[in-house]
Amino acid sequence: MLKRVIALAEEPNVPFSPSGKSFTAVAVNTAAKAGEWIKTKIGAYTKLDLKYSESDLVTEIDKGSEKLIRSLILTHFPTHSFLGEEGVEPGPLASAKALEDASGAEYLWIVDPIDGTTNFVHQFPFFSISIALAYKGEPVIGVVYDPNRDELFVAEKGKGAYLHGKRMSVSADAKLSESLLATGFPADREKALPINMRGLAAVVPKVRNVRNGGSAALHMAYIAAGRLSGFWEIGLNSWDLAAGTLLIQESGGSVTDTAGNPYTLKVRNVLATNGKIHGELVDTLQQADATGL
């Protein structure tokens, strides 16, 4: 092994990589390491900045977590591309452009260093680290880690999704009326929020109840684990959704945009379910003019 590493390092066009660790092992270890560090910083951030609006927050811990994740991943895979929330200017246009710029990459890591920053700031223990690897534009590894509950959700394309080594599968709920759903209240108060509120008004009377936990990635992981049967939100970004999407797909669920079109990294208005209530939820949002599309 050592011989091979040295040989690779000496070839001029092959960048040095210190180990033969699998993509999944690196994603899992990196998420766990970042989560451990973030946990030591709860209640201890010193700098709070506003990004796009007064409800779009960032701390130095978000930036530190991204730096840690980026350097660990690029140490193992120096030729890969990296798209992280904190490396992108705030706002939907900049996010779309960053994704466009990265879209030619063969291997692209898509990272949210803290998904649920508002919760982190308020010491509400529901936030996560989301790490996905996309190969030619399609998520092939997805890891979402909840450091508060020490739950690590991991999926590999074609190999299933797991929580603590146990294969996950989506809930069996077949009707909206027996389903527990989640949504979020978007930081974009002008455009996205009113659309989501129309959806909320239409969905709440039809379902068992709706939660807004505050971390899209964790909501998606909870669908994979069968704890929620659906989630929708307007105006999210690729780093909120890429890992969670693979978790759900590998657990038997469905992820589309709010109008039911197939998931791509560009999707911002998301609808994710156990698959069984997908049609009913698309119809409800469409009838309420709440797809945002």
Q: Which positions are catalytic?
A: 85, 112, 114-115, 117, 240
Taking CB under 5 A as the rule, does residue 156 contact Ca ion?
no
Question: Per CB under 6 A, does 236 bind ligand 2AM?
Answer: yes
Stretch that binds ligand 2AM, among 13-21, 28-36, 155-163, 232-240 (CB under 6 A): 232-240
272 forms part of the interface with ligand 2AM (CB under 6 A): no
Helix (H, G, I), strand (E, B) or coil at 69: helix
Q: Please give the sequence-ordered ranges of beta strands (E in DSSP) within 96-164, or none if there are none.
A: 107-115, 128-135, 138-146, 151-156, 160-163
Report the amino acid identity of residue 118: T
Give me the least distance between CB of 157 and ligand 2AM, in Å please.
23
Q: Is the separation of the CB atoms in 129 and 102 below 8 Å?
A: no
Q: Does 250 bind Ca ion (CB under 5 A)?
A: no
Q: Of 179, 116, 178, nearest to 149 (Cα)?
A: 116
**Smallest distance, ligand 2AM to C-beta of residue 152, A:** 18
Q: Token pair for residue 122?
A: 């308020």
- Residue closer to Ca ion (CB basis): 84 or 253: 84
Nearest distance from residue 237's CB to ligand 2AM, in Å? 5
Handedness of CA 285, 242, 169, 182 (dihedral sign): negative
CA 97 to chain centre: 18
The piece of 5-13, 85-93, 167-175, 261-269 that touches Ca ion (CB under 5 A) is: 85-93
Element (DSSP H or E) covering residue 119: helix 117-122
184 binds ligand 2AM (CB under 6 A): yes
User: In the structure encoding, which two tokens stand for residue 52, read together?
Assistant: 């796009």
Please list every residue from 108 through 137 that binds ligand 2AM, using CB under 6 A.
112, 115-117
**Least distance in angstroms from the C-beta of 196 to ligand 2AM:** 9
Give the 3-state secondary structure of residue 252: coil
Separation CA 250–CA 139 (nearest Å): 11
The alpha carbon of residue 83 and the mean position of all alpha carbons in its chain are separated, in whole angstroms, by 12
Instruction: Supply the minimum distance, in Å, between the C-beta of residue 285 and Ca ion.
Output: 25
Residue nearest to ligand 2AM (CB): 184
Q: Which residues bind ligand 2AM (CB under 6 A)?
A: 52, 56, 85, 112, 115-117, 184, 187-188, 214-216, 233, 235-237, 240
